[in-house]
Structure 1
């Protein structure tokens, strides 16, 4: 796997978690709205590598405690993907420095 491939996979993870965080924020903001259908984010792997997020309404009620737990989980997943992306960028920079020397 190439450095750019690893970076693209990490980037897709960050995008998916951003989508997930948006759905969670929408759920919490509308938790007291009558007849609001909670948004559920499902993550699926992509054949070329990475992950894709899909947001679908569900019939279940919004629980702010569950939303907070999901938000913490999404934050940690985003941070993990960001570390992988930064490491790939550092490796790319190191390779460019070696090539120049």
Structure 2
């Protein structure tokens, strides 16, 4: 697997985790003493991103943040998917040229 595809795949996984955490926060907004989940992301030296789910220090809902996080995660997912599609298309064109 190339560095480009592993970077895009880690981005897809990070976006999915962000989307899941935001959806879980919205679903549990009315749950007493529920502490929101947040996703911390950190770039890795080989490319890509490392993610970790964390709990907020105190209980409380922030629906507006969770909706924005869902939208942001959706756009990140689409961008990383487009990167994989472009790589696949480019490799296909190179193979067609060589054949």
| TM-score (ref. length: structure 1) | 0.90
How far apart are 1:41 and its partner, in Å?
0.4
The residue that corresponds to 1:82 in the other structure is 81
Structure 2 CA distance for aligned equivalents of residues 16 and 52 of structure 1: 7
Deviation beyond 4 Å, 4+ runs, structure 1: none
Question: Structure 2: how far apart are the matches of 1:7 and 1:54?
Answer: 21
TM-score w.r.t. the length of structure 2 is 0.91
Structure 1, unmatched stretches of 5+, are none
* Map 1:1-101 → 2, pairs under 5 A: 4-60=2-58, 61-99=60-98, 101=99
Q: 1:56 deviation in Å?
A: 0.6
SS state at 1:36 partner: coil
Contact kept, 8 Å, 1:4 with 1:88, in 2: the verdict is no
Find the residue that maps to 1:44 and give its secondary structure: strand
CA RMSD of aligned residues (A): 1.4
SS in 1 for 2:2: helix
SS at match of 1:53: strand
1:9-39 Cα shifts (integer Å, max 9, x gaps) = 1111011000111111110000000011100
Q: Tell me, which stretches of 5 or more residues in structure 2 are unaligned?
A: none
Cα drift, residue 59 of structure 1: 2.2
